[in-house]
């Protein structure tokens, strides 16, 4: 069936959602993916792409709305690709995310008891204005710059003046930069021709400290954008803003970054501090973190505190443990655990992250943690050869999951406990399926919602080894 005005419509009920936010229904045994549909909707749709095992359809009308369907509070929700669940009740989102974790662990991980082991998703009391880091592409013209997020499944920028998942101060900063672009005729980046100057605006906010970092990513060097005047305007905008959510807002860091490559990567290590210091600070629990422009850190401070508390709870530390924290990033989990352990070794392949981790250890006067710049799978083998055997291993890998050789090493050295922190239920399930044959058993599965209004979910899993 091909797209066109004479398309035959089909009726279906949406029963699930895909990882990219499409509603899922079934007709005659075939899976149908439909944009802008949520579980429980009854719809009329038209097939636009027909494949052998599935089809993609366009929603023509909603004949019976889901009881969990809501009116989006964001005026840009229909087109913006930033949040795929704006039309879905928040409590229903939490149930959906729990089911996705269970389904992945059952289907991919072959964990029959996944349902009984998985707790309710730890959600937010107020799931708005939670995101502490925002990356906004800039397109259009100097007269009419487009500053927003990409439209779903495209690189078309949806111009916007508000975003309800970021702090309100970010909207004020965006409009200050928009006026500056107009005044100084700064040409936005053109992705097709690889011309123009301003590619991205990056904003980072310390919720506990009020520190604000603003970065502009440029496509050219040796070009004037009146950055000192913009720094003055940003400082004034931020310090004049009164916010009930974040106290004492102030501009701590304003930098210019350079990226002249044809790439989807946003930042490079080539940047210049225009105003302030080369970092902001954030605090989670009792630990203070210093974050440089390139530092990775969870973007939901409220939920990150709950996530870290869950990790520490499951670790059940007595003060005598040797811990490995693999894929440790800026040491955020390592430092939380080091307060209650004998020794922690953190391993991370990104050099800048290790520098931040070492700085954060010094900042908090924590001396029982060592950070090593290396690939986790390579360093794990070296640590074993050097006689370092862990009581607990924490892994927090990227979405692709753990390297296969790391799983092999863990199966060989058999630490008593593994805590797996995952942002991808599918790779989490795959890796667990490789640990179970080595005598491990899953004890607890705890999802945490770090990204309301999206399908992403963080999961903490406690895995223990049966005593021989």
Gyration radius (Cα) of the chain, Å: 24
328 in catalytic set: no
Query: 83, 253, 402, 423: which is the annotated catalytic residue?
Result: 423
| C-alpha to C-alpha distance for 343 and 324, rounded to whole angstroms | 9
Name the residue among 251, 295, 306, 294 with its Cα closest to residue 274. Answer: 251
Distance between CA atoms of 338 and 358, rounded to whole angstroms? Answer: 13
Contacts made by residues 33-39, CB under 8 angstroms, sequence distance 24+: 33/57, 34/58, 34/59, 35/59, 35/152, 36/78, 36/87, 37/62, 38/14, 38/66, 38/68, 38/69, 38/85, 38/87, 38/88, 39/14, 39/15, 39/66, 39/68, 39/88, 39/92, 39/96
6: which 2 tokens?
Answer: 């004479």
CB of 460 closer than 8 Å to CB of 310: yes
| Structural tokens at position 91 | 């409590």
Q: At what angle do helices 168-184 and 227-240 cross, to 10 degrees?
A: 150
Distance in angstroms between the alpha carbons of the first and the last residue of the chain = 60
- Please, what's the b/e burial string for 314-343 (b: 16 or more CB within 10 A of its CB; e: otherwise)? bbebeeebbbbbbbbbbbbbbbbbbbebeb
| 77/81 Cα distance (integer angstroms) | 8
H or E segment at 97? helix 90-107
DSSP 3-state of 225: coil
Please choose, from the candidates 461, 459, 429, the residue with its C-alpha nearest in 3D space to the C-alpha of residue 107.
Answer: 429
- Per-residue b/e over 274-304, b at no fewer than 16 CB within 10 Å? bbbeebbbbebeebbbbbbbbbbbbbbbbbb
Whether residue 115 contacts residue 161, with contact meaning beta carbons closer than 8 Å, is answered with: no
- Longest pairwise C-alpha distance within the chain: 72
Name the residues annotated as catalytic.
Answer: 423
């Amino acid at each position: 069936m091909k797209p066109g005005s004479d398309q035959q419509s089909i009726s279906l009920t949406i029963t699930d959602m895909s990882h990219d936010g499409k509603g899922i229904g079934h007709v005659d045994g075939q899976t149908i993916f439909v944009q802008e549909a949520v579980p429980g909707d009854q719809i009329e749709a038209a097939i636009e792409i027909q494949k052998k095992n599935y089809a993609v359809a366009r929603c023509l009308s909603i004949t019976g709305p889901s009881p969990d369907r809501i009116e989006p509070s964001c005026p840009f929700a229909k087109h913006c690709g930033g949040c795929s669940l704006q039309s879905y009740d928040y409590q229903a989102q939490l149930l959906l995310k729990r089911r996705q974790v269970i389904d992945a662990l059952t289907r991919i991980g072959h964990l029959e008891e996944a349902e009984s082991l998985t707790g309710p998703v730890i959600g937010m009391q107020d799931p708005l204005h939670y995101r502490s880091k925002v990356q906004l592409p800039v397109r259009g013209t100097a007269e009419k710059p487009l500053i927003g997020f990409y439209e779903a499944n495209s690189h078309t920028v949806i111009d916007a003046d508000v975003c309800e998942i970021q702090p309100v101060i970010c909207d004020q900063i965006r409009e200050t930069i928009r006026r500056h672009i107009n005044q100084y005729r700064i040409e936005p980046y053109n992705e097709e021709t690889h011309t123009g100057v301003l590619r991205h605006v990056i904003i980072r906010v310390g919720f506990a400290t009020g520190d604000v970092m603003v970065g502009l990513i440029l496509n050219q060097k040796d070009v004037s954008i009146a950055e000192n005047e913009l720094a003055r305007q940003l400082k004034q905008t931020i310090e004049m803003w009164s916010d009930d959510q974040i106290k004492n807002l102030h501009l701590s860091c304003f930098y210019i970054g350079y990226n002249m490559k044809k790439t989807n990567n946003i930042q490079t290590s080539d940047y210049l501090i225009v105003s302030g210091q080369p970092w902001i600070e954030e605090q989670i629990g009792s630990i203070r973190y210093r974050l440089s422009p390139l530092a990775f850190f969870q973007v939901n401070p409220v939920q990150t505190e709950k996530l870290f508390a869950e990790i520490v709870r499951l670790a059940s530390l007595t003060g005598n443990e040797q811990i490995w924290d693999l894929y440790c990033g800026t040491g955020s989990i390592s430092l939380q655990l080091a307060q209650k352990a004998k020794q922690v070794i953190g391993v991370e392949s990104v050099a800048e992250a290790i520098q931040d981790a070492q700085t954060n250890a010094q900042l908090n006067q924590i001396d029982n943690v060592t950070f090593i710049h290396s690939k986790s799978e390579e360093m794990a083998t070296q640590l074993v050869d050097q006689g370092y055997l862990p009581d607990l291993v924490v892994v927090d890998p990227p979405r692709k999951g753990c390297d296969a050789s790391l799983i092999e090493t863990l199966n060989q050295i058999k630490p008593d406990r593994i805590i797996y922190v995952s942002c991808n239920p599918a790779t989490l399930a795959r890796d667990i399926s490789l640990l179970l044959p080595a005598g491990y058993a899953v004890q607890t599965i705890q999802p945490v919602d770090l990204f309301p209004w999206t399908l992403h979910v963080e999961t903490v899993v406690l895995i223990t080894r049966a005593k021989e």
